[in-house]
Amino acid sequence: MSRAASIVAAAGVALVVVGGTVVAIAFRGGISARREPSAIEARVARALRTWAIPSEARDAPNPFQASPRVLAAGLAHFADHCASCHANDGSGQTAIGRNLYPRAPDLRHPATQGLTDGELFYIIENGVRFTGMPAWAGPGSAEGSWHLVHFIRHLPKLDGGERAQMEALNPKSPDEWRALQDEESFLRGDEPPPREPGHGGHTH
Amino acid sequence: MIRLMTVLAVAAAVVAGPAFAHEKGDRAIGVVESITADQIVIKASDGHVVPFALVPDTRFSVGDKTAGAQDVRAGQRAVVHGKRSGDKLIAVRVKLARHKR
């Protein structure tokens, strides 16, 4: 066997061993999403994500200046489109976010806050494969996504009033709308809503 | 055919799963019976009494304005959203009616 052929064969064996190890680690829990992703998976996934974002996208500056109007637009957009998984405060602590694989990240932490504006925009617009993050790009989507970038930067400083505003803007089921209307009419002084079976105004 | 139906059923379950996921919570609607530094008690119209623990993260509001525990009065109408922690109910959000002048 020539020297070149030996090198190719050794590289092939190494590739199979490394690849097999990665697959074994990734699928050691079967296809279940209940297990917490390992530190190795998280590290590899983050590295791959960084590597996969084109450098011109990474370096793109936010074309919009932060302002109360831009933050308000980002807040409304986030509450309506993002909070189901990421939570209003960006913690990822929702029924969906904490059970995705990988888990929805805490957007207030350095792993997200350390990304460039361009990286955040790219992820919002293009999504991330093999995660729950969808691609939101569409006609006219760029302005809203850049507003979201400003709002994500603001998440660590979110106050109680802003969280209350977001709760009013979160998507609601018909039952939730009815419950909200019941609450508001009761607080205005109307009759209390009818007692729900077994709970006496104490609902689950 | 059975295999196709199975695949479709699994796909439907995967797509529909998140739509059925929701946060479990507890809500009480009534008047404030009492409030202390660490507890608010709500009395529903049928007399059912529900105590909620107050924590630093508990948020108070009157209309769309942020309020605080100091704005709560006994007899005031209130809606309290809570979450269970062991055998306790923690107040997450307290919505208050405006005081009557």
CA atoms of A72 and A84, how far apart (whole Å): 18
- Interchain CB contact of A36 with B (< 8 Å): no
User: Is the pLDDT score of B26 beyond 50?
Assistant: yes
The pTM is what?
0.67
Whether a cis peptide bond, with omega within 30° of 0, leads into A102 is yes
Query: Per the structure block, which two tokens stand in for A49?
Result: 């994500």
Query: Collapsing DSSP states into helix, strand and coil, what is residue A6?
Result: helix
CA nearest B24 in A: which residue? A204
Shortest Cα distance, chain A CAs vs residue B95, angstroms:
8
Q: Please say if the pLDDT value at position A4 is more than 50.
A: yes
pLDDT tens for A153-182 read 999 999 988 988 898 899 989 998 999 899
Determine, for residues A96 and B21 on separate chains, whether the beta-carbon distance falls below 8 Å: yes
Question: Cβ contact (<8 Å) for A186 and B79?
Answer: yes
Give the Cα separation of A53 and B66 in Å (integer).
41
Give the count of alpha carbons within 13 A of B83, CB side only.
8
Identify the H or E element spanning B90. strand B88-96
The pLDDT of residue A162: 92
Q: Count H helices, E strands: chain B?
A: 1, 7
CATH 2.120.10.30 fits B2-96, yes or no: no
CB nearest A201 (choices: B29, B64, B97): B29
Instruction: Return the exposure string of A36-64: e unless at least 16 CB atoms fall within 10 Å of the residue's CB, then b.
Output: ebeeeeeeebeeebeeebeeeeeebebeb
Q: Are B53 and B62 in contact (CB under 8 A)?
A: no
Q: Is the ipTM here above 0.85? A: no
> A34 pLDDT exceeds 90?
no
Sorted by where each begins, the domain ranges of chain B are: 2-96
